[in-house]
Structure 1
Amino acid sequence: MSRAEVADGRGARTAPSALWQLSLFRSEVTTVLRRWRTLALLGVLAAVPVLVGIAVKMETGDGGPSGGDGHGPAFISQISNNGLFLVFASLAATLPFFLPMAVGVVAGDAVAGEAGSGTLRYLLVAPAGRTRLLLAKYASTLVFCLTATLVVAVSALTVGLLLFPVGDVTLISGTQISFGEGLLRAVAIAGVVAASLVGVAAVGLFVSTLTNSGIAAMATTVGLLITAQILDQFPQLHAVQPYLFPHYWLSFADLLREPVYWEPLQRNLGLQALYAAVFGSAAWARFTTKDITV
């Protein structure tokens, strides 16, 4: 370090600060992913594709196509013909409730859980600052969003390869693409699904700053999720439904069309970014002014 760097103190502070931020983020991610509750949630998510795959296999028996009822994304009827569709079907099955519920539990516990256990004050004693700590917790929640989505996708792909034939993929628009391109679209869909959970994570983090009870924060976040899902089903509320964070969740199905319908996907990602900005700012405003007494 040069004498000038020592004189103004910048050289002594910059590197440790960067290392501390990385260490804080790594510590938060490790803490989240090592909790038994988190592992149990990931185990449940991994089991969903197994159950769906077994159910379809038992229903079709001879490997013929399963019947569809015409509701929702046309994935189920394609699973017995191509195991890759189990990935799409499993993501469609878990996104409305299981995935966001798991994210809501993790996000709701992020700050309130620390406050309830008495470790929040200890974390604030370290040279992190409230803003950096909140960012680290939100970033670790987003890592969980991606991890949970990949657990569902990988479990579904594994079961699909074991139970069903694979080959060229017939898109829901009727176009046929190679298995490799279908796999790339599956990766893109997993990314869109993970991004669709950004809004839930921000809402959960905000709720977590309002209370010192992790259980209360988790229950409130899940309750808001259920309420938004119910409101999204009433035709009379069509004017407000486009602003509800779950409204465009199933737009990922448009990645299985040729050409791809980009507008619903863009609306979904834009809406999630809006929720992240609004509720992330609200969480920051609350957390940075909150009186930490426990």
Structure 2
Amino acid sequence: MSQVDAGAGEAAAAAPTAGPGAGRAPSPLWTFGFLRSELVTTFRRWRTLALLGVLAAVPVLVGIAVRIETRDGSSAGGGGGGEGPAFIAQITNNGLFLVFTALAATLPFFLPMAIGVVAGDAVAGEANAGTLRYLLVAPAGRTRLLLTKYATTMAFCLVATLVVAVSALAVGALLFPLGDLTTISGTRISFAEGLARALLIALVVAASLIGVAALGLFVSTLTNSGIAAMATTVGLLITVQILDQIPQLHALQPYFFSHYWLSFADLMRDPVYWDDLVKNLGLQALYAVVFGSAAWARFTTKDITA
């Protein structure tokens, strides 16, 4: 909790204290300073660094496992349709495929779990530490404070995804050859184009976490316990993932935020299939609007006395 206290102190130091001008709307410069303070506080926490470390370790473990299996003369996997871990079949031929495999391996659980931890603690952690009311003393207003928390969570989404991608690219370059690669459609593209598609895939994966971030932020406004908010968010994530695998619920599954997550594989087709990608991004935007609005409605009417 001392880290939360320190974060609140930094945010308060970056903002003018209440006074004769406290009723005025905050300037853009103040807003930027508050956001910067939130970003610095979030990424300095040991918990955040530990989450990023775990995410960076996943591509290392996958790469070493494939390398050992190849050294033993075993096949790294069968050919495949390119959905998710089917990319693993191509890693031994081109290390760039480790990026796609690592993102597919972390997206169903590790990445959203990390986002759920950060989002769930965004408001509830401050309330639990007793620092939330001090943040509201500054002329930010509840709406701007909530937007700042959500922007910080989205920044973590992007950083976490890039950590996985960069770690996978480094490990793939060290353990496997790099060069031109074959798309799922069977066409050959240059390494530069493959690298560009890898970056685009990472951005799509980060955007796929928008819904989880909004859901976690909403849950965070419902309780004063950061641990309860984090556990609830992760629990909802696991529940939705399980429901998405039950055939009897096929009519509802297209509305689950995780249903189109692996559609990023379509960016490795030639030409690219956009249908599921557009559905995924649209669904994430819908979740962001619905749960973002619910979080705003809850937070702006919440009685904050501690």
| TM-score in same-fold range (> 0.5) | yes
Is the Cα contact below 8 Å between 2:182 and 2:189 reproduced in 1? yes
Is the Cα contact below 8 Å between 2:216 and 2:229 reproduced in 1? yes
How far apart are 1:173 and its partner, in Å?
1.3
Distance in 1, Cα, partners of 2:300 & 2:77:
54
Is the Cα contact below 8 Å between 2:80 and 2:87 reproduced in 1? no
Q: Please state if 1:32 is matched with 2:38.
A: no
How far apart are 1:143 and its partner, in Å?
0.1
How far apart are 1:65 and its partner, in Å?
5.5
Moved more, 28-37 or 240-249: 28-37
Alignment match of 2:275 (pick from 218, 239, 263) = 263
Aligned to 2:203: 191
1:84-99 residue pairs with structure 2 within 5 A?
84-99=96-111
Aligned to 1:221: 233
Aligned to 2:124: 112
Is the Cα contact below 8 Å between 2:69 and 2:75 reproduced in 1? no
How far apart are 1:144 and its partner, in Å?
0.0
Gaps of 5+ in 1: 1-12
TM-score under structure 1 length normalisation: 0.93
Compared with structure 1, are the counterparts of its residues 164 and 63 closer, same or farther at alpha carbon in structure 2 (3 Å cutoff)? Answer: farther
1:141-160 residue pairs with structure 2 within 5 A?
141-160=153-172
Is the Cα contact below 8 Å between 2:161 and 2:205 reproduced in 1? yes
How far apart are 1:122 and its partner, in Å?
0.4
Q: Please state if 1:129 is matched with 2:128.
A: no
Aligned to 2:54: 44
Is the Cα contact below 8 Å between 1:81 and 1:164 reproduced in 2? yes
Aligned to 1:6: none
Aligned to 1:293: 305
Compared with structure 1, are the counterparts of its residues 87 and 273 closer, same or farther at alpha carbon in structure 2 (3 Å cutoff)? Answer: same
Distance in 1, Cα, partners of 2:209 & 2:185:
26
Distance in 1, Cα, partners of 2:121 & 2:140:
20
Q: Give the 3-state SS of the residue equivalent to 2:212 in structure 1.
A: helix
How far apart are 1:70 and its partner, in Å?
4.8
The count of aligned residue pairs is: 281
Compared with structure 1, are the counterparts of its residues 69 and 84 closer, same or farther at alpha carbon in structure 2 (3 Å cutoff)? Answer: closer
Is the Cα contact below 8 Å between 2:80 and 2:89 reproduced in 1? no
Is the Cα contact below 8 Å between 1:65 and 1:80 reproduced in 2? no
How far apart are 1:107 and its partner, in Å?
0.1
Distance in 2, Cα, partners of 1:122 & 1:195:
32
Alignment match of 2:93 (pick from 78, 81, 87) = 81
Q: Give the 3-state SS of the residue equivalent to 1:75 in structure 2.
A: helix
- The amino acid that maps onto 1:199 is G
How far apart are 1:32 and its partner, in Å?
1.0
Gaps of 5+ in 2: 1-23
- The amino acid that maps onto 1:117 is A
State the identity %. 79
Alignment match of 2:287 (pick from 261, 265, 275) = 275
RMSD value over aligned CA atoms? Answer: 1.4
TM-score under structure 2 length normalisation: 0.89
Moved more, 73-82 or 271-280: 73-82
How far apart are 1:67 and its partner, in Å?
2.1
Deviations 1:51-77 (CA, angstroms, capped at 9, x unpaired): 000000000117885222758433000
Is the Cα contact below 8 Å between 2:185 and 2:270 reproduced in 1? yes
Distance in 2, Cα, partners of 1:199 & 1:176:
34
- The amino acid that maps onto 2:132 is L
Q: Give the 3-state SS of the residue equivalent to 2:108 in structure 1.
A: coil
Is the Cα contact below 8 Å between 1:65 and 1:78 reproduced in 2? no
Moved more, 132-141 or 57-66: 57-66
Is the Cα contact below 8 Å between 2:223 and 2:229 reproduced in 1? yes
Distance in 2, Cα, partners of 1:17 & 1:34:
26
Distance in 1, Cα, partners of 2:73 & 2:39:
42
Aligned to 1:284: 296
Aligned to 2:114: 102
1:11-22 residue pairs with structure 2 within 5 A?
17-22=27-32
1:198-213 residue pairs with structure 2 within 5 A?
198-213=210-225
